Amino acid sequence: MKFGKKDIRRFLNSQYIMFSIILTLKAVLLHGFLFHDYDFIKSFILEGCYILFLLGLVEFLPVRIKSIGYFFADAIITTLFASIVLYVAYFNTVPTYFALFQLGQVSAISDSVFSLLNPLYLLMYIDIIILIIFKVSKKLPFPSPKVNKKGLSVTVVLSIVAALVFFSYYKGITIANPVLAAGDKGIFNYELLNIYKDPNAQVKPLDPHLSIKAINEQIDNIKGITIKSDQKKKLFGAAKGRNVIVIQMESFQNFLLNLKVDGQEVTPNLNALLKKSMYFPNVYQQVGPGNTSDAEYIMNTSLFPQSYSATSISEGNRQYNSLPKLLKTKGYNTMTFHADELKFWNRDELYPALGFNHFYERPVYGEKDIIGLGPSDDVLYSKGLEKLQKSSTPFYSMFISMSSHHPYKIPDSKKGLKLPSEYDHSKIVGDYLQAQHYTDEALGRFIQKLKDNGLWDNAVILFYGDHFGLDQHMLNDTDRSILKGLLKHPYSEIDRYNIPFIITMPGITQGEVEEQVGGQLDFLPTLTNLLGIDIENKLVHFGQDLLNTPQNTIGMRYYMPAGSFINQSLLFTPKRNFEDGSGLAIPSHDPVTASELKQYKSEYEKVIELENLSDSYVQSLPHIKISKDK
């Protein structure tokens, strides 16, 4: 059978070719938009081979429904691209296939997501609208659903060969930065390689016969530290027997403390509290894609979150040795307060797995005084206080604030700051400061109620931010200018990931500032030291007691590439690997030269080893059946 000029014309004038060109051009433009990669030929070849193959499958449909099949294929692939764009805008990293399957969680943060929508994103769907008009209008030409099978066969076979070649080539190449990896390898290759290199399959569970003490010793050996005896630890048992109140503040960054805008304190209540607390200004977030739920997980386990998914979803039903379970053996009543629905981020599995006696969710707080995602922080604290007062035993309680959640839109009646006129042109900083000012006011009222009800003096209270609130991608020029004026330097990654950690023990703490660098993994061992509980034989923990820490390196994953770390001197970010990484000096925020970075390679390797060990430990824990009836 010959393949002549007529066949070629029919092939080129087919729906197969038309949709292939449209979708491949979208993929090429997506590369330029997301990755600033303007090598169009490389992008066209990388993405085009998969698109040609996928659309080739549509050709197997009967002719009468083939046009519908192409429309659906166009819509599905376009929606995949749009989801990736939106995900990168919100999380600043490229989603894996696993994260894309968790998009059902987006409904609960729809205001945050929609605030990031750019009208330009809708242009991705304009071809579908135009094609529908072409199809409906009988006067406008529309490509034939028929295609020359011989030409199609050659094209599909060549596209499969190309895809296999690229897949085989890239499967052995590791790039630490997921954005860089997706840009270099191609979006379809990136997703397939993540399926091929299933993160769970890559993790080797630890020997189940290893004792907790042996694992902790392994962790200490990697870190190169020696744990002090209890008798030599600073403030060991200083809060023994006290009630514990943990307050996790939504999107709260460290630069907010002691910050003034036009003479007004943004956080007057926390500023006053610092004078009677221990304050750790050099602490950084370590959450993964689960954000707030990851912060809860880390606080109660001192384990690294997962790098590819919200830990509460992928690993929420493991048999954890956790802080609530440990405190229950000491006679504590354990409870957590969150004004969101329990099913969001799979907390209906996570909270029982962590061992909380009680978890109080949305129905407890009613539907009055709604701010953003749910009832206000004032409602959260008031309802929570009622439960605390009823506890007949010492309690461990967590309050998860929510009113200052992105996009930071609070009622005008709750805006307590009078911002200068330049903030009228701010995209987000003005709203962020107003929301956090309200958070501080609600917190001040809660503190006063704890004092009035006699719960303050016999407590140890932890305050910390769960994760950053301002991503550089959220800011316009006015925002950047405002932040530079407030911080006295350009807003950097160091500012973004720096969260406050405050410990208040009434009658004991007197305004101490602890300069040791730390992360969220360190909160649990610092608290247990104050409670006089030795955890070396009881809890596997990857954090360190910040009051008795000679050195510390903070590993971060997901929001930074694998192997990223923060120590007393710098924030380091690898690209493909350590050799091409970059660093920002702390506290100057100045770039660190390549020659200066060489001395930190062992820190990079140490962080990766610790994160892998944490994953292995979690994978070794048995699954448990969780009842979701509570």
Max mean pLDDT among 19-23, 46-50, 166-170, 319-323 falls in: 319-323
Between 187-196 and 178-185, two packed helices, what is the crossing angle to 10 degrees? 110
Q: Strand, coil or helix: what is 394?
A: coil
In this predicted structure, the answer to whether residue 102 has a pLDDT above a threshold of 70 is no
Q: What is the pLDDT of residue 1?
A: 46
1 or 222, which is more confident: 222
DSSP one-letter string for 478-513: HHHHHHHHHHSS---HHHHHEEEEEEE-TTT--SEE
- Report residue 10's pLDDT band, with 50, 70 and 90 as the boundaries: low
Q: What is the pLDDT of residue 372?
A: 81
Amino acid at 433: L
358 or 343, which is more confident: 358
In this predicted structure, the answer to whether residue 115 has a pLDDT above a threshold of 60 is no
Q: What is the pLDDT of residue 181?
A: 76
Distance CA 249, CA 402 (A): 7
- Report residue 103's pLDDT band, with 50, 70 and 90 as the boundaries: low
For the annotated binding site for substrate, the residues are 405
Closest C-alpha among 389, 370, 390 to residue 380: 370
- Residues of the chain within CATH 3.40.720.10 domain(s) are 212-620
In this predicted structure, the answer to whether residue 139 has a pLDDT above a threshold of 60 is no
Closest C-alpha among 492, 487, 497 to residue 467: 497
Instruction: Report yes or no: 602 and 553 within 8 Å, Cβ to Cβ.
Output: no
Distance CA 448, CA 470 (A): 29
Closest C-alpha among 224, 296, 212, 221 to residue 552: 224
- Report residue 98's pLDDT band, with 50, 70 and 90 as the boundaries: low
For the record, the structure tokens of 4 come out as: 């002549």
- Report residue 224's pLDDT band, with 50, 70 and 90 as the boundaries: very high
Q: Read off the pLDDT of residues 450-492 as tens digits, 9 standing for 90 and up.
A: 999 999 999 999 999 999 999 887 889 999 999 999 999 999 9
10 Å Cβ neighbour count for 256?
A: 25
Angle at 21 between CA 18 and CA 25, to 5 degrees: 145
Q: Read off the pLDDT of residues 429-454 as tens digits, 9 standing for 90 and up.
A: 999 999 999 999 999 999 999 999 99
DSSP one-letter string for 301-346: H--PPPSSS-HHHHSTTB----HHHHHHTTT-EEEEEESS-TTGGG
Q: Read off the pLDDT of residues 536-548 as tens digits, 9 standing for 90 and up.
A: 999 999 999 999 9
- Residue 407, CB half-sphere, CA atoms under 13 Å: how many? 15
Compute the mean pLDDT over every residue in the chain, rounded to the nearest whole number: 87
Q: What is the pTM of this model?
A: 0.84
264 or 170, which is more confident: 264
State what percent of residues in the chain have pLDDT above 90.
Answer: 55
Kindly state the helix (H) or strand (E) to which residue 398 belongs, with its residue range.
Answer: strand 395-400
328 or 291, which is more confident: 328
305 or 105, which is more confident: 305
The domain covering 212-620 belongs, at the CATH homologous superfamily level, to Alkaline Phosphatase, subunit A (3.40.720.10)
Closest C-alpha among 412, 455, 454 to residue 437: 412
- Report residue 244's pLDDT band, with 50, 70 and 90 as the boundaries: very high
Among 116-125, 376-385, 564-573, the least confident range: 116-125
For the annotated binding site for Mn(2+), the residues are 250, 292, 466-467
Amino acid at 427: K
Q: What is the pLDDT of residue 37?
A: 72
- Report residue 630's pLDDT band, with 50, 70 and 90 as the boundaries: very low
Catalytic residue among 155, 267, 292, 528: 292
For the annotated binding site, the residues are 250, 292, 405, 466-467
410 or 63, which is more confident: 410
In this predicted structure, the answer to whether residue 216 has a pLDDT above a threshold of 50 is yes
Q: What is the pLDDT of residue 298?
A: 98
For the record, the structure tokens of 41 come out as: 């030929």
Distance CA 442, CA 345 (A): 25
534 or 6, which is more confident: 534
10 Å Cβ neighbour count for 405?
A: 25
Q: Is 267 a catalytic residue?
A: no
For the record, the structure tokens of 619 come out as: 């994978």
